Structure 1
Amino acid sequence: MTSQTHTTGHTDRETPSAEQIRRAPKVLLHDHLDGGLRPGTIVDLARDCGYEGLPETDPDKLGIWFREAADSGSLERYLETFAHTCAVMQTKDALKRVAAECAVDLAEDGVVYAEIRYAPEQHLENGLTLEEVVEAVNEGFREGERRAKASGHRIRVGALLTAMRHAARALEIAELANRYRDLGVVGFDIAGAEAGFPPTRHLDAFEFLKRENNHFTIHAGEAFGLPSIWQALQWCGADRLGHGVRIIDDIEIADDGTVKLGRLASYVRDKRIPLELCPTSNLQTGAATSYAEHPIGLLRKLHFRATVNTDNRLMSGTSMSREFEHLVGTFGYTLDDMQWFTVNAMKSAFIPFDERLAMISDVIKPGYAELKSEWLFRQTVSTSASAGS
């Protein structure tokens, strides 16, 4: 085991405001398309397709229902939320609309790069083919990017094709992701219940992707703990860990503050394996009891490749800005901390190295530099005003 003492040098004086957090360039790696619909869109699409199963038809009340269902502690009720969103995402037009609105909403929240995941196999009930689903979503993302640009925002969106780990179509979806590589799809993922459905059930898909030099992430270390992380990395070869929050189980803190990393935690940190952490979602699923107790605080101090994500914006009633607001309020994070998380995420994206570097150098760092300059200017003005009074 390795050990070290963790300390923090953060101060409250550089804590960004909510407006600065919103304007700051942000990068999102873990967000589900079917978990981020606008409530009003769900109502519209349900009416258009004749779906009568919604628990509420008023958009405001429906949004509240989704958040309360996700917070209920009932797995059945939580899964029911996705049954409603998927039910209204069964046509090309619906998929295009949802994808376009996703890109617009993220761009307005300051997200400059996002990888959005969805399972094509969940959108076939009205006769669409897997290919038609992918093409409709890709078209929606491009439309959303154009609309965002027209309103003064910039965003680039890549798709991650997800296979459901309880099903038997992982290889088929992996092959689909490979066919649409460089056409809007940037990688592959598996999702669904971890317990009883280990990633090793889908080794043929991961072996195929590795032979094709393609990228993939795996939902692991959210509910099932260290064994799922170990399997995702050592058996399957995942590039990133979807959540990965349970890596904290391999880290010990002594009474004197000394931190000891187990061999798996050391491996994850030493190899710079990205953790797609989703604080609010983790609270809903019981992976943490509060923001203050969320492992992201310690993982930041220990310099893991930690990233901040939303998971399901509708169910969690969240956004990237809200996630950072919680972390800033809890840990006193500064703009430097926000930039650290954002650069981590951009370094870990599934696009070519030169494109990642350009985003960091041309968009992210200048964006934070501008915000820091504004903060310093305001401090100078405030100090001068105080001195002259």
Structure 2
Amino acid sequence: MLQGFGRLFNRHRTVFLSTMAAASRASSSRCASSMPPFKGKVELHVHLDGAMRPETLFDVATKRGLQLPASDAVALRKYCCYHEEDEHSLKRFLDSFDFFLPLIQGDLQAVERIAYEFCEDQAKSNILYSEPRFCPHLLATSVVWDHYVKRRYISEGQRIVDEQRPVVTPSDVVDAVCRGFDTGMADTGVMVRSILCCMTHRPDLSMEIVQLAEKFKDRGVVGIDLAGMEGAVPMDEHKPAFERARELSIHRTVHAGEIGVAKNVETAIETLHAERIGHGYAVVDNTRVYDFVKQQGTHLEACIYSSHLTGALKTFNIDHHPVKRWCDDRVNCSLSTDDPGVMQCTLEEEYVRGREQEGLTHEDEVRMVFNAARSCFLPSEEKKNLLCKLRDVHGEEPK
């Protein structure tokens, strides 16, 4: 059980996310010089725990008196961000989370701050609406988690966790995130709703995630996700929780087809009743599943930078991201960053990559924004209002 919970680090998103901050900054400069910012965006696939500012992590750790291998926030980036010179591997990426999650775990003030700053960062990126996701168990305290952290850090002579701190439950974490979002939305004007993540390695926790989503549905929690190492545990083991979520009208998205087979996407839709798929690149490898996704109108949440730089696309022997093919085929899809803090990138840069590297047109970009709005988990009236705001920015939706 301990080993399984430790592997929660083995991604709070399906697998292979890693990136190169220097390349990201270069892309940012191109964005500034080539075209004006693409305003009025919607982001559906972004992990809150992958969106933390290094400056905040350093400040929180310093205030908690935690020993760090860095003397300032700039130096801390070596450990909590991915860089061009780093090994491009899943292990290196996971090392980042393995390092910084214990710095904030069990600190509700820090969790609330991170949620607030997420709103600030989304506003700076001209994002009108987003649905950040997180697993509350990753930020709570528990006997299992503490044992894992102690094994990971104290054995190396680093006292990262205060053994006397009060217990913080997953419910406490969701409450803190909601508070941070509420204040952030009021101060910035962005709209945020949250998604709670089940973890592939822990199907025994999935029903609790559904219960939390139901408990906090009036506080902005609009859905659940399944994240983690794709294929490590059969999706069927999460079926009871996702069926219960459907009974409660809790929306559902599932990480599938990122490095796994196309059948995973089909299973996510048919067995877990997924309304959206995180990544889903494997569909290009299977004509039947691809046609099924198009027929169902299932929304595919694409993240160009993470999939390209971590080698996820090599699984399917394709040179270019499938997002352009999806756009040409009028597949219901959109762009997101995935983990902007670890990757040190923005959604604006994701659009630049789509334009410069994958050949996306402005019409493709606008259509994807409207796709995201139509496929978001807002109630119908709020969704209509969001679509009206997008029309004010972009005009009528492309055909």
Q: TM-score range by the shorter chain?
A: 0.7 to 0.9
Q: Counterpart of 1:22?
A: 37
CA contact (8 A) 1:209 1:215 kept: yes
**CA distance in structure 2 between the aligned counterparts of 1:339 and 1:285, rounded to whole angstroms:** 27
Q: Does the CA-based 8 Å contact 1:187-1:350 persist in structure 2?
A: yes
Query: Rg: which structure is higher?
Result: 1
Residue 18 to residue 97, structure 1, CA distance change in 2 (3 Å):
farther
Counterpart of 1:320 in structure 2 is: 347
Change (3 A) 1:21 1:226: farther
Q: Which amino acid aligns with 2:390?
A: I
Residue identity opposite 2:108 in structure 1: K
Aligned partner of 2:87 in structure 1 is 72
Q: CA RMSD in A?
A: 2.3
The 5 Å alignment of 1:284-299 reads: 284-288=309-313, 293-299=320-326
- Distance in 2 (CA, whole Å) between partners of 1:181 and 1:324 is 31
Residues 87-146 of structure 1 show CA distances to partners (whole Å, capped at 9, x for unaligned) of 122211000110000111011100000000000011122511122111100110111112
Q: Which moved more, 1:105-114 or 1:205-214?
A: 205-214
Cα distance change on mapping 1:230 and 1:96 into 2, 3 Å: same
1:71, CA displacement in angstroms?
A: 5.6
Matched pairs, number: 338
- TM-aligned CA deviation for residue 62 of structure 1: 2.9
Equivalence for 2:77:
63
2:336 to 309, 334, 346: 309
Tell me, in whole angstroms, the C-alpha distance in 2 between the residues paired with 1:19 and 1:28: 22
Q: Deviations over 1:319-370 (max 9, x none)?
A: 1101001111124434322211100000010011222122112x11211249
Deviations 1:38-60 (A, max 9, x none): 111111111122332x5534323
**8 Å CA contact retained: 2:252, 2:274:** yes
Q: Which runs of 5+ in 2 are unaligned?
A: 1-30, 142-164
Q: Separation in 1 of the partners of 2:320 and 2:44?
A: 23
Q: Cα deviation per residue 1:154-210 (whole Å; 9 max; x = unaligned)?
A: 310001011111012001111110111131101101111013223211111011111
Change (3 A) 1:328 1:74: closer
- Correspondence 1:246-257 to 2 at 5 A: 246-250=282-286
* Shift of residue 82, structure 1, vs aligned partner: 1.3
The residue number in structure 2 matching 1:124 is 140
What TM-score do the two structures reach when normalised by structure 2?
0.79
Change (3 A) 1:29 1:156: same
| Counterparts in 2 of 1:194 and 1:21: CA distance versus 1, 3 Å | farther
Partner of 2:257: 221
For the residues of structure 2 that align with 1:24 and 1:291, how far apart are their CA atoms? Answer: 30
Specify the code of the residue in structure 1 equivalent to 2:129: Y
- The structure-2 alpha-carbon separation of the partners of 1:178 and 1:288, relative to structure 1 and needing over 3 Å to count, comes to same
Q: Which moved more, 1:71-80 or 1:202-211?
A: 71-80
Instruction: Name the counterpart of 1:112.
Output: 128
- Counterpart in the other structure of 1:194: 230
Q: How far 1:217 moved relative to its partner?
A: 0.5
Aligned equivalents of 2:85 and 2:41: distance in 1? 25
CA contact (8 A) 1:51 1:87 kept: no
Contact 2:320/2:358 (8 A) holds in 1: no
Identity %: 30
- Alpha-carbon distance, 1:315 to partner: 2.1
Native 8 Å contact 1:222 1:243 kept in 2 = yes
Q: 1:70 to 1:134 in 2, by over 3 A?
A: farther
CA distance in 1, matches of 2:65, 2:83: 25
Compute the TM-score of the two structures, normalised by the length of structure 1: 0.81
Unpaired runs of 5+ residues, structure 1, are 1-15, 149-153, 251-261, 371-389
Matched, 1:283 2:318: no
Of 145, 164, 176, which aligns to 2:199? 164
- Aligned mates of 1:315, 1:203 — CA distance in 2: 31
- Distance in structure 2 (CA, Å) of the matches to 1:113 and 1:191: 22
Q: Say if 2:48 is the partner of 1:42.
A: no
User: Could you tell me how far 1:64 is from its partner in structure 2?
Assistant: 4.9
Structure 1 residue 299, shift from structure 2 partner:
1.1
* 2:373 alignment partner AA: M
Alignment partners' CA distance in 2, 1:345 and 1:307: 6
SS class of match (2:312)? coil
Give the Å deviation of 1:225.
2.0
Check conservation: 2:52, 2:342, Cα contact below 8 A. no
State the 1:18 CA deviation: 6.0
Give deviations 1:281-328, integer Å, cap 9, x for gaps: 112331226996111111111111111011100222211101001111
**Given the alignment of the two structures, is residue 137 of structure 1 paired with residue 188 of structure 2, yes or no?**
no
- Whole-Å separation in 2 of the counterparts to 1:64 and 1:91: 23
Question: 1-side partners of 2:86 and 2:392: how far apart?
Answer: 38
- SS of residue in 1 equivalent to 2:249: coil
